[in-house]
Amino acid sequence: MISSLRNFAKTKLAGVFVGIIILPFVFWGMGGMFSSGNTNNVVKINEKNISTEEFIDYLNSSGIPEKTIRENLDQNIIEELLSGLVSTTLLDLEIKDFELSISELILLKKIKENKNFRDENGIFQRIKYEKFLLENNLSAPGFEQRLKMRELQKNLFDYIGAGTTSPQFLINKLYEEESQKLEIEFIDLNDFYVKKENITEEELNKFIIENKEQLKVEYLDFSYSIINPKNLIGIDDFNQTFFDKIDQIEIDISNEFDFETIISNFDLTSIDIKDFKFSPDSNEIEKKIFELRNNKFDIFEIGNDYILYHVKSISKREPDLNDNQIKQEILELVFQKNKFDYNQKLLNEITNKKFNNNNFLEFGKEKIQMIKLNSVRDNKKFDINAVEVLYSLPEKSFTLINDENNNIYLAKVKKFEKQIIDTNKEEFKQYIAKQNSNNKNSLLKSYDTFLNDKYDVSLNQQTIERVKNYFK
């Protein structure tokens, strides 16, 4: 799939090869939004036009709620969805060029093999198939057409990637890279950091002065009302009357009714909070209001309740060191800054080749530990990304790595031990398949580049903006 159309003129395609999934239809009533005709094409691919109606159908079948699209317009969701349609269209054009086809019998076989349509004994049940179609608002011909296109696309990828048998030396190379053992020496840097309890008041005050604005604490004055069927309509049922009133409250908010007016109109009670400071111990409602504080007046769901809230004021104050919680938070910041500075200094020495084996021995002394990693996937001690870094370095080199708890270590790559694959073992077959897959992926990337050159994709930005404006 094309990742974005923001720079489409430059990239055309950023990668069309993504699994095609079957998604349910959701209809938003957009059909009459545009008139027909060439002027309403959203994309032109060589001589083929993609009409606005086609794009609307694609949006309707995306399974993405209208609200989600509306809320993500600034994140280029329309462009992302359009890129998916372009990708699908390109693949369809390629399928026609290669004259690929699939028989009805194969389609039927694929449907009957789908485990979702089988009973506990593995026997195809037509009633399960029909129930699936009904639940997803699909017709049998529509579903089968989607399945057909998915299988044809799969066949296209198989065709392009065919004949990718790997020579022995590539299999051996892959095995060596992934399975060679690595002996390292390491030092836990936690033993070298200034302990939190040893941070002086002078350090603390200096940090506060240097970060005065960033350390200011936000205090909120706000009111909120917990809305549920009991206090809104007098019964416990979430019925249509309740949701109609919730809709009306949302309309009143959009019409700029104030908080007190809505509370009064719907006979709700409010809770007033003054000088609220965020704390992990705050209740979930207060935490959520704090999170949404810049949107000062709104309604949101939490659990089975709706929360109507109004943030009256936000003030920032300098930290009160008499408040133990605040003091501990600042101490933690100073501690983390000291750690960062220490690590950065050490890393700079390594990068600038001012750190050698003598420095390592002198630095670690009796604190040096050793471990043997069995492969690049061996994360029994360190984070998997850190292990990959270690395997990418030459022997006798140094680096800083972390474990899954983000403890930091100074590590020395001591020695690699290459492993020779046994061609008689099942493992050898697994590496053949893996290397073949790597080769196939490489071919598909090349094919993707070929498509960039083969097809001229141009956008009708004006029409795209009209689609986006619909959701605003």
What's 362-404 look like in SS3?
Answer: HHHHHHCEEEEECCCCCCCCCCHHHHHHHHHCCCCCEEEEECC
User: For residue 174, which amino acid is it?
Assistant: L
Instruction: Show the tokens assigned to 249.
Output: 């409250």
Inter-residue contact 37 to 121 (CB < 8 Å)? no
Please give the CATH architecture assigned to the domain spanning 8-162+445-471: Orthogonal Bundle (1.10)
How large is the average pLDDT for residues 401-406? 92
How large is the average pLDDT for residues 399-421? 89
Q: Which residue has the tokens 């309309």?
A: 251
Inter-residue contact 214 to 318 (CB < 8 Å)? no
Eight-class DSSP state of 166: P
How large is the average pLDDT for residues 121-136? 84
Q: pLDDT tens digits for 32-74? A: 334 444 447 888 888 888 888 888 888 877 777 788 888 888 8
How large is the average pLDDT for residues 167-171? 67
∠107-115-59 over CA atoms, to 5°? Answer: 65
Does the CA dihedral 4-7-8-13 come out positive or negative? Answer: negative
User: pLDDT above 90 covers what percent of the chain?
Assistant: 36
Range of lowest pLDDT (207-216, 262-271, 292-301, 344-353):
207-216
Q: Residue 76's pLDDT is what?
A: 84
What is the C-alpha separation between 40 and 50, in angstroms, rounded? 9
Strands 181-188 and 369-373: antiparallel
What is the C-alpha separation between 137 and 25, in angstroms, rounded? 6
Q: Residue 169's pLDDT is what?
A: 65
Q: pLDDT tens digits for 342-397? A: 999 999 999 999 999 999 999 888 899 999 998 888 899 999 999 999 989 999 99
Does the CA dihedral 233-238-244-248 come out positive or negative? Answer: positive
What is the C-alpha separation between 357 and 348, in angstroms, rounded? 16
Q: pLDDT tens digits for 109-123? A: 888 888 888 888 888
User: pLDDT class for 165, splitting at 50, 70, 90?
Assistant: low
Residue range 181-199+325-417, CATH number? 3.10.50
Instruction: Show the tokens assigned to 349.
Output: 């020495």
Range of lowest pLDDT (286-300, 316-330, 411-425, 435-449):
435-449
Q: pLDDT tens digits for 249-281? A: 999 998 999 999 999 999 999 999 999 999 888
Give which of 397, 398, 401 is closest to 388, Cα–Cα.
401
Residue 327 vs residue 268, higher pLDDT: 268
b/e burial code for range 451-468 (CB count within 10 A of at least 16 → b): bbeebebebbeebbeebb
Instruction: Tell me, rounded to whole angstroms, the distance of Cα 388 from its chain centroid.
Output: 22
Helix/strand number for the chain, H first, E second: 18, 11
User: pLDDT class for 11, splitting at 50, 70, 90?
Assistant: very low
What is the C-alpha separation between 419 and 215, in angstroms, rounded? 54
Residue 292 has pLDDT above 90, yes or no: yes
User: pLDDT class for 171, splitting at 50, 70, 90?
Assistant: low
Residue 220 has pLDDT above 70, yes or no: yes
Instruction: Show the tokens assigned to 294.
Output: 């810049």
What is the C-alpha separation between 153 and 94, in angstroms, rounded? 9
Residue 419 has pLDDT above 90, yes or no: no
User: pLDDT class for 163, splitting at 50, 70, 90?
Assistant: low
User: pLDDT above 70 covers what percent of the chain?
Assistant: 84
**Contacts of 193 by beta carbon, 8 Å cutoff, 6+ apart:** 335, 338, 339, 342
Looking from the CA of 464 toward its CB, the CA atoms found within 13 Å total 19
User: For residue 184, which amino acid is it?
Assistant: I
Q: What is the dihedral of CA 274, 278, 280, 286, to 10 degrees?
A: 50
**Contacts of 137 by beta carbon, 8 Å cutoff, 6+ apart:** 24, 25, 26
Q: Residue 2's pLDDT is what?
A: 30
Give which of 262, 261, 259, 210 is closest to 232, Cα–Cα.
262
What is the C-alpha separation between 130 and 113, in angstroms, rounded? 15
Helix (H, G, I), strand (E, B) or coil at 416: strand
Inter-residue contact 81 to 62 (CB < 8 Å)? yes
Range of lowest pLDDT (37-51, 86-100, 234-248, 285-299):
37-51
- Domain spans of the chain? 8-162+445-471, 181-199+325-417, 217-317
**Contacts of 172 by beta carbon, 8 Å cutoff, 6+ apart:** 420, 421
